[in-house]
Amino acid sequence: MVTINDIAKLAGVAKSTVSRYLNGGSVSRRTKETLDRIIKETEYVPNTFAQSLKVKQSNLIGIIIPRLNSYATNEILQSVDRCLREKSYQLLIVNTDQDVEREVENLYALSRQKVAGIILLATDVTRAHKEAMEKIGIPVLLLGQRSDATYAIVHEEEEAGAAMGRHALRLGHKKILYLGVTEKDESVGVLRKKGVMDVLKNAEGIDVQEEEVDFNFDITFRFLKEYLKDRVETYILCATDNIALAAYKASITLGRKVPEDVSISGFGGYSITDLVTPSITTVRYAYKEMGRIAAENLLRLLQGEEIPKKIALSGEFLPKESTKAL
């Protein structure tokens, strides 16, 4: 293995000169040329451990995600990754398998690894989270959930909910079933629902029923196969695309036609909503953009620049085949 020392000897300079050359310090034209050549010939690459040991920081950015097999996660990962790579940062992905405790553990674990910054796809920001963020002293960027504890990038949930609510009204539906999720999830469980409900409840002669279901397709599908049997609503407004998919499949199973007998919509803009027939009305969230902004802003933060505490991204309402006028 070739080290900075070897290079220095071969070039007949001190290793500090080589180091300066490497880190963009000032070196004479001639030295630069020799070094250019020698480093190329020897295929020298600096030892990242020695570097990191010295500067007490790495070029690693940690990202904590709840699960690997989610469309949203993947979109975000991909764009964060792409963005960081351009700036020659490495993404260290840690998956918590939906275990909130492990989010906190990993905050500490990543700080031990001396990551320069952390992106956290948050589900719920607890006291333990805040404590960890304070303690480790590394910039943390939250994605998907609001919290005044640190910087956050979120989706415009209320706006999206309202758009979908208006859509249902516009199509003339009077009996509407809302399938939501736990209110522990501030973004999806509370705000998204609020957006929908504010619109529906302010309208005349609308009958809204509400039910809480699970994020998981299988669980929700099994539940809905029974639950939907004696429902009479003509529009099922689902809090996520996965739930919409389950509602769709359950409706079909019960012999109802979509959208002829019942309209169904989701939220998220997962690509699968386009693959099924009929395609599913949804709001596409700006996952890619969220990832890009997260990466860019985190890097800015690392350079000591100021960035906004909170950014909210608008989604795009996409009416498709699964909803039609009554």
Partner DNA sequence: ATGAAAGCGCTAACAC
Partner DNA sequence: GTGTTAGCGCTTTCAT
Angstrom distance (rounded) from CA 162 to CA 244: 17
Segment near a second copy (CB under 8 A), from 11-19, 21-29, 163-171, 269-277? 269-277
Angstrom distance (rounded) from CA 277 to CA 268: 17
Among 100, 272, 312, 318, binds a second copy (CB under 8 A): 272
Pick 23 or 253: Cβ nearer DNA: 23
> CB neighbours (10 Å) of residue 231?
17
Q: Helices (DSSP H) in the chain: which residue ranges?
A: 4-11, 15-22, 29-42, 48-55, 71-86, 100-112, 127-136, 157-170, 193-201, 217-227, 241-253, 272-275, 287-302
Q: Nearest to residue 169, comparing CAs of 129, 196, 149, 145?
A: 196
Q: Nearest to residue 128, comparing CAs of 154, 114, 108, 152?
A: 108
Q: Per rule CB under 7 A, is residue 219 in the interface with DNA?
A: no
How does DSSP classify residue 279? Answer: P
Q: Per rule CB under 8 A, is residue 185 in the interface with a second copy?
A: no
Pick 39 or 290: Cβ nearer DNA: 39
* Among DNA, a second copy, none, partner that 20 touches (CB below 5 to 8 angstroms by kind): DNA
* Of residues 98-157, those binding a second copy (CB under 8 A): 112-114
Q: Name the maximum alpha-carbon separation found in the chain.
A: 87
> CB neighbours (10 Å) of residue 135?
11
* Of residues 22-81, those binding DNA (CB under 7 A): 22-23, 25-28, 30-31, 46-47, 50-51, 53-56
Q: Per rule CB under 8 A, is residue 34 in the interface with a second copy?
A: no
* Among DNA, a second copy, none, partner that 325 touches (CB below 5 to 8 angstroms by kind): none
Among 5, 28, 50, 257, binds a second copy (CB under 8 A): 50
Q: What are phi and psi of 177, to 5 degrees?
A: -110, 125
Pick 38 or 77: Cβ nearer DNA: 38
CB of 2 to a second copy, least distance (A): 12
Among 9, 19, 67, 74, binds DNA (CB under 7 A): 19
CB of 109 to DNA, least distance (A): 15
CB 242 within 8 A of CB 220: yes
Segment near a second copy (CB under 8 A), from 50-58, 146-154, 163-171, 198-206? 50-58
Angstrom distance (rounded) from CA 238 to CA 256: 17
Q: Nearest to residue 322, comparing CAs of 173, 162, 160?
A: 173
Among 217, 231, 296, 312, binds a second copy (CB under 8 A): 217
**Whole-number CA gyration radius for the chain:** 26
Among 45, 229, 232, 325, binds a second copy (CB under 8 A): 45
Token pair, residue 266, equals 């989701």
Q: Per rule CB under 8 A, is residue 19 in the interface with a second copy?
A: no
Element (H, E) at 203: none
DSSP helix/strand/coil, 268: strand
CB 321 within 8 A of CB 168: no
Return residues touching DNA (CB under 7 A): 1, 3-5, 12-17, 19-20, 22-23, 25-28, 30-31, 46-47, 50-51, 53-56
Return residues touching a second copy (CB under 8 A): 1, 45, 47-50, 52-53, 56, 58, 67-69, 71, 74-75, 77-78, 81-82, 90-93, 95, 97, 112-114, 217, 245, 248-249, 252-253, 271-272, 275-277
